[in-house]
Chain A
């Protein structure tokens, strides 16, 4: 029963897929093909990301993370958050487990959010790809707007939540 509840969302998507397949066979087959493709992407990128997370969790002491990215890390913390997020590989949903370990290690909340923002939009490999597809002017303009953007968004978001809510999120990360 617990298993069904955990996989409830997945089961719903399976049902939608089956319905789509009966209504429109061609679109349904295409959906399965795209799912297979995304699954391959996940199977390729996610295992090393989680192994790195495990290693980070075990080897890097909390004090070190606090010193470099914690409450009083200042500009260095922001810089590291942007850098780590930009160097990442993989789709956005891979960023959240990393963020959870960061919180466990005492990384400041705004830096966690900056990291997520950077992962979502300023990834270096993607930037090179964007340049070749849409031109240097497009890619560089976007990057220059995005970097201050994600930092500002992180601070606005933090101002919207109370200290208690942040503590709650940190406590949840501890258990994940």
Chain B
């Protein structure tokens, strides 16, 4: 559904652009290709790394890591697991729901989901290409710490009831 919308918008805009100015449109496509080709090596590497990591860190392993422990130790572990894995949302949320059913606390799941989305250890090579080492590292560290604030509040608001 989402992809369909993305493609529709892109194709419509491309057609509008083509009718308005052919030369500019080809220029745009050339630019698109150049910036894609530029970052392709990092993309490919990241995708391979995700495959390797997820084959080792699958849901049963994750639930073993954060399922039984409670308290901040479990929260920190959940945050670390979330930070190094990169799971698409439509897999991550059902996984998180499953972990909840298996006895993980809301605080742990809050840290897991938040770190999963905001921290990208495996995507760092891509991020570094654009933002440099220092900023990439800082952004990921801050996002990681922020995940614990999110976890704490979710634990209070959702788990406290």
* Residues on the A chain within 8 Å of B117, using CB: 92, 120-121, 126
Q: Which chain A residues (125-176) contact chain B, with CB distance < 8 Å?
A: 125-126, 129-130, 132-135, 137-138, 141-142, 145-146, 149, 153, 156-157, 160-161, 165, 168-169, 172-173, 176
B31: which of A30, A42, A53 is its contact (CB, 8 Å)? A53
* Residues on the B chain within 8 Å of A84, using CB: none
Beta-carbon contact of B114 and A129 below 8 Å: no
The answer to whether A35 and B48 touch (CB under 8 A), given A48-B6, A129-B93, is: yes
In the assembled complex, B46 has its CB within 8 A of some CB on chain A: yes
Beta-carbon contact of A126 and B89 below 8 Å: yes
Encode contact with B along A15-39: 1 for CB under 8 Å, 0 otherwise. 0110010000001101111111011
Interface size on A, residues (CB 8 A): 80
Beta-carbon contact of B36 and A50 below 8 Å: yes
Beta-carbon contact of A165 and B134 below 8 Å: yes
CB distance from A119 to the nearest CB of B (A): 10
A-B contact pairs, 17 of them (CB 8 A): A9-B42, A10-B48, A13-B52, A30-B58, A36-B51, A39-B47, A53-B35, A54-B28, A58-B27, A121-B118, A125-B2, A126-B89, A138-B158, A141-B157, A141-B158, A146-B150, A169-B135
**8 closest cross-chain pairs (CB), A and B:** A35-B51, A54-B32, A13-B48, A133-B93, A31-B55, A54-B28, A48-B10, A9-B45
Q: Residues on B close to A: CB < 8 A?
A: 2-3, 5-7, 9-10, 13-14, 17, 24-25, 27-33, 35-36, 38-39, 41-52, 54-56, 58, 86, 88-90, 93-94, 96-97, 100, 106, 109-110, 113-114, 117-118, 120, 123, 125-127, 129-132, 134-135, 138-139, 142-143, 146, 149-150, 153-154, 157-158
